[in-house]
Amino acid sequence: MSKQGKGAKDAKDGRKVVASNRKARHDYLIEDTYEAGLVLMGTEVKSLRQGRASLVDGYAAWRGDELWLEGVHIPEYVEGTWTNHTPRRRRKLLLHRDELAKIARKSSETGHTIVPLSLYFKEGRAKVEIAIAKGKRQYDKRQALRERQDRRDTERALHSRGR
């Protein structure tokens, strides 16, 4: 599995990743993921095409029967005029009705939340990958870090032995 930086293109599905939320995979146990479209203003799209966005404080919330993305920071477009957007405004997520029903059912369970994992362009359209997640406890985070470190140590040991 290769790591990609911002703006890197994923060969298998044509994704151009703008931002990813690596902290979400550390803080939450990801149960299910969905790809959603976004309702954006023109200056937001231009700012995203420059590779500028942050998902760190982002989450999805219900407003009536619609799902909205909140807390995501898309900075103002530098060359924008009075038509520029506010950086942390609420953005509507576009999903099929049956997907919304599944998400509503799963997110209503105790301890579950909806977090954005990555923001990318796919076939020229801005998409966000959201996940139904359950918060990890502190000892779960420590255990995951310990397992990762043990795996690295064994790989180093095998590599140094010439295997």
What is the domain-level CATH number for residue 76?
A: 2.40.280.10
Q: Encode pLDDT of 13-68 as tens digits.
A: 778 888 888 888 878 888 889 999 998 888 888 888 888 888 888 888 899 889 99
Q: Is residue 72 part of a domain?
A: yes
Q: Is residue 23 part of a domain?
A: yes
**Is pLDDT above 50 for 3?**
no
Residues 30 and 132: their CA atoms lie apart, in Å, by 6
Q: Encode pLDDT of 56-83 as tens digits.
A: 888 888 998 899 999 888 888 777 677 7
Q: Is residue 161 part of a domain?
A: no
Q: Is residue 2 part of a domain?
A: no
CA 79, distance to chain mean position in Å, is: 26
Q: Is residue 146 part of a domain?
A: no
**Is pLDDT above 60 for 9?**
no
Domain that holds residue 114: 9-135
Q: Is residue 148 part of a domain?
A: no
| CB-based contact 10:115 (threshold 8 Å) | no
Q: Encode pLDDT of 113-130 as tens digits.
A: 899 999 999 998 989 999
Is 157 exposed, middle or buried (CB count within 10 Å of its CB: 0-12, 13-18, 19+)?
A: exposed
Domain count, the chain: 1
Q: Is residue 102 part of a domain?
A: yes
Q: Is residue 113 part of a domain?
A: yes
SS3 24: helix
**What is the predicted pLDDT for the residue at 55?**
86
Q: What is the pTM of this model?
A: 0.73
